[in-house]
Amino acid sequence: MHDAIILAGGKNTAALKRMTEEEYEALNSIAGKPMVAFVAAALVSSKNIGRVLIIGPRQELEKTSFPEQISILQSGATLLETIQIGIAAVGHSHKTLVATSDIPLLTTTAVDHFIEACTEKEADLYYPIVAKKIHNRQYPTNKRTYVELKEGTFTGGNIFMVNPDIVPRCLEFAEQVIEKRKSPFALCRLLGWGIVWRLLCRNLTITALEKRVSEILGITGNVIKTPYPEIGIDVDKPGDLELVQTLLGR
């Protein structure tokens, strides 16, 4: 059984503000409920999840009725501060699931598949990726950022499993990853020019990425291939919000 943290302190982009009066992404209305409620429901229903902590605008979030196993804490001024608050609140070293609040299509099936895949190999950090062909087959109109690896073309997810003990020493690197998350080339530059060269030659493997991250951070990482693209469909553009409102409004 794992605890889970939902990062709900992110504010709407300028583009999204033209579609909603809400200041925070987590509170964007979908089918009459704030977006974070869908993420919370998927986690609470998982047989692998115990406590769920939502870290965001506490006063606004407390206006929503959440299941009893959910606690709400005030977020920090930045995403990294919010992560630190969540990890501190967990209060243990057991592997913890972290999810963003802007993936309302997330399903319990996708969560359980990811968590169970994490048990197959011991690591400090687990990160899901989705093949482009799988994503486009199910959500052809949704635009994503992809990276071309030797094993195929993939996009990243918006949940991960982490050993809380490694978080303090990884925060600086995480800040750079967050800043460059929409540019695969810039992300590879963080890992060194050898990785960039292999990316340009289309010879970069998942194993090489795992190894390089482990070398830089002194941790063990594991990339999980998932067949559930809902893990990666984050709502940060008007088209994304329209898509989830249409699908969940049904």
Closest CA to 60 of 12, 2, 3: 12
User: pTM for this one?
Assistant: 0.91
> HSE-up of 97 (CA within 13 Å, CB side)?
36
Picking from 12, 73, 41, the residue whose alpha carbon sits closest to that of residue 234 is: 12
**How large is the C-alpha radius of gyration of the chain?**
17
Place of tokens 């229903």: 45
E strand segments, 22-63: 29-30, 33-34, 49-56
Q: Give the separation between CA 40 and CA 22, rounded to whole angstroms.
A: 19
**Residue closest to 79 by CA, chosen among 3, 158, 185, 142:** 158
**Domains present along the chain, CATH in parentheses:** 2-248 (3.90.550.10)
Eight-class DSSP state of 24: B
Per-residue pLDDT of the chain (250 residues; tens, 9 = 90+): 899 999 999 898 888 888 888 999 999 999 999 999 999 999 999 999 999 999 999 999 999 989 888 999 999 988 888 988 999 999 888 999 999 999 999 999 999 999 999 999 999 999 999 999 999 999 999 988 898 999 999 998 999 999 999 888 887 777 776 666 667 777 777 777 787 788 777 888 999 888 888 888 888 999 999 999 999 999 988 899 999 999 988 6
